[in-house]
Structure 1
């Protein structure tokens, strides 16, 4: 089956997709760990099929997850002779919940680290760029009949999504154009 515009039918992207799902979540978890200064294993995915045991109340850690994707409404198409690229901008929205006795400090380190240009350059290596963040919000949580300190921040990152399709351009057609003279 053909996957280009020389034949009728649906077209699917020819190029490899950008990271989504677990690969994207893993990369963003590394970013949260680096900016917050939390030790290995203390930035955890918020939603997993099997939940790991919660750290003790006196341990600082972060629950992190992607909560949404928003894309612009009108992508651009850039045509070459052999294919076309669809370009669109996407916002990846994430939530980070910091727990533990130093959760406020850890959350503020993460928030401030997002503002450092060199940290954004590192994020750019994964075709992402810091866009904005919410204020830190206190959300104490009752866990095992004990109140645990928790601070949340919602972060929005931007990226350009490029998908290549086999849309051929018309380079030469068997057409005669008459000017009417």
Structure 2
């Protein structure tokens, strides 16, 4: 059984998710990249599973995406909710960088479409259900590579996302506490003005 504030020890969140992490978070980004860039969803792949997979045909354009960093703000807000037995909610904001490598004959077209489509308000709103927003895109950089004596066109672009993270911890209400008070004895000389001397 998980600890709570009454048992002592380390506290874990009451729910593992939200926020989305790992494969679930990658799926959100895969759907966003496919929808905005115009690529079919099966051609937007994560970098790690794609390492051993067969790449698409040379005449197809596809994307490898990778979550590169998640930077959290310096000071999360922690508030107590006294409802029921009580809980603490931690809310913080983080910035997520996702690297998108467009590969294939139309790589630049899809990279530019992803960059420009990220500025369209309706595309930005698609992430609101996950408490996320697109905050910008980096430059498109050529990363062409020669494989088996054939040049492969590749353009990399980084997208930046902001996300609100909320986690709830089992910090119980304080119902009572043993308290002892001691009265100090005060003599009349304690109030004498010694500056007058």
- In structure 2, the partner of 1:71 is 72
Aligned runs of 1:1-181 on 2, under 5 Å?
A: 1=1, 3-17=3-17, 18-48=19-49, 51-81=52-82, 82-170=86-174, 173=177, 175=179
Q: Give the greater-gyration-radius structure (CA).
A: 2
TM-score by length of 2: 0.83
**1:64-97 alpha-carbon deviations (Å, 9 max, x no partner):** 1111111112211011210101111111211001
The structure where helix makes up a greater share of residues is 2
State how far apart, in whole Å, the 2-side matches of 1:6 and 1:98 are: 52
TM-score by length of 1: 0.90
Unaligned runs of 5+ in 1: none
Residues 93 and 2 of structure 1, relative CA distance in 2, 3 Å threshold = closer
State how far apart, in whole Å, the 1-side matches of 2:108 and 2:126 are: 24
Residues 39 and 2 of structure 1, relative CA distance in 2, 3 Å threshold = closer
Matched residue of 2:113: which SS?
Answer: helix
Unaligned runs of 5+ in 2: 185-197
Contact 2:137 2:160 in 1 (8 A): yes
State how far apart, in whole Å, the 2-side matches of 1:132 and 1:90 are: 14
State how far apart, in whole Å, the 2-side matches of 1:178 and 1:54 are: 77
| Residue correspondences, number | 181
Residues 165 and 62 of structure 1, relative CA distance in 2, 3 Å threshold = same
Segments of 4+ in structure 1 off by > 6 A? Answer: 176-180
Residues 167 and 27 of structure 1, relative CA distance in 2, 3 Å threshold = same
State how far apart, in whole Å, the 2-side matches of 1:110 and 1:49 are: 21
Moved more, 41-50 or 25-34: 41-50
Matched residue of 1:132: which SS?
Answer: strand
